[in-house]
Amino acid sequence: MTVQAALVQRFRRLTIKVFQTTAKEIRVLLIITDSKDGLSNELALLIGEQAFFRFNVDLWYEYNFEINNDYWSIIDPTGRKITSKQERKVLVRKPFQTFFTDTNLPNNITENEKLWTLNQIQQFVNELCLLEKYNNNVKLIDFHQPTYLSKSVQMIVGKKYFNVPNWKMFWSNKNYKIEEDFCVKSAKASAFGNGNFLFTKSIEKGTHLENLYPWFIQKTIRAEYDLTILYINEKCFAFTLNRNQIIDLDWRKEIYSKDLKWEFINISNHLISNIKNYMTELNLEFGRLDFLIDNNNKYWFLEVNDNGEWGWLDEFYEFGLYENFLSEFGIKKINTFLRRRSD
């Protein structure tokens, strides 16, 4: 069983206990997410008796919600209610990652009405987030960032602070011949119709890319280690992965099929300073930055995910990731007894 599957199973067992917590005198953490988000499952368990309210956007038809002139409110499937009259903080996870491709709809909504309906739900969530941003309740992650998932901005700004591999995003009306070793990526994280994603894939010199759609390619770096750094409001938590553990270029392809061993490391003050300057320029308080370290110990910047996954990096609560993350929402005590190393 994968870590994510185990978390989902454990969350289901404890759902009633968590949802029965009242929020009359304590702060509510509202997480806007979807039902498949394993990190939100983990956060619910760690918060425990503290108030936690989850809005699974893909299951919108199981909730009741409204925004009016005086307040907004959401009622979940168990009957719990959260309103704008309560003290609260808001975490916006990834409510729309696969929202338009695999969200179920009530039977009375026709195929012709599906897209229109989903757009209306998305707009409600947008309105809610903008209201909470105006009230300064949205913390760390703001999915209305103007640089949200912009590869070109990330790379151009990144070149001021880091080594950046050559890259380009393009469309050609003819098949494009690769002149060097490049890899192909998605310009924007998006699922195919079958729910699968494009992982980073190596493209050998001399290969022709078909003129079917726009491409995003990047020079392949022969690296010894992956380096990922979780940035939480000026704090950096760095981890490396020896690439001899993986077969392909992209470790994400194997994250749920192997027990990949990420090692916590200390990074130089120079790199920390450059990361802080980079994130400040992009107006980001949170993100997971990905680098490669080549055989000459040279660091190459790949991207920053401003709403990236990170829970697996601190599975046994050893490095303070959860504590530092949740403290930004006013939560100072968490149930880290939930999981301990067996060895």
Q: What is the pLDDT of residue 273?
A: 98
Q: Which residues pair with 20 in a beta bridge?
A: none
Contacts of 27 (CB under 8 A, 6+ apart): 50, 51, 87, 88, 89, 329, 330, 331
Handedness of CA 254, 142, 101, 121 (dihedral sign): positive
User: At 252, is the secondary structure helix, strand, or coil?
Assistant: helix
Residue 304: alpha-carbon gap to chain centroid? 10
Q: What is the pLDDT of residue 216?
A: 81
Structure tokens at 47: 């918060």
* Beta carbons of 162 and 221 less than 8 angstroms apart: no
State pLDDT tens for residues 106-158: 888 998 999 999 999 999 999 999 999 999 999 999 877 665 568 889 999 99
Question: Between 343 and 265, where is the model more confident?
Answer: 265
Contacts of 271 (CB under 8 A, 6+ apart): 299
Q: What is the 3-state secondary structure (H, E, C) of 79-139?
A: CCEEECCCCEEEEECCCCCCHHHHCCCCCCCCHHHHHHHHHHHHHHHHHHHHHHHHCCCEC
State pLDDT tens for residues 2-58: 444 444 444 443 433 333 433 333 478 999 999 999 999 999 888 875 678 999 999
Q: What are phi and psi of 247, to 5 degrees?
A: -95, -45
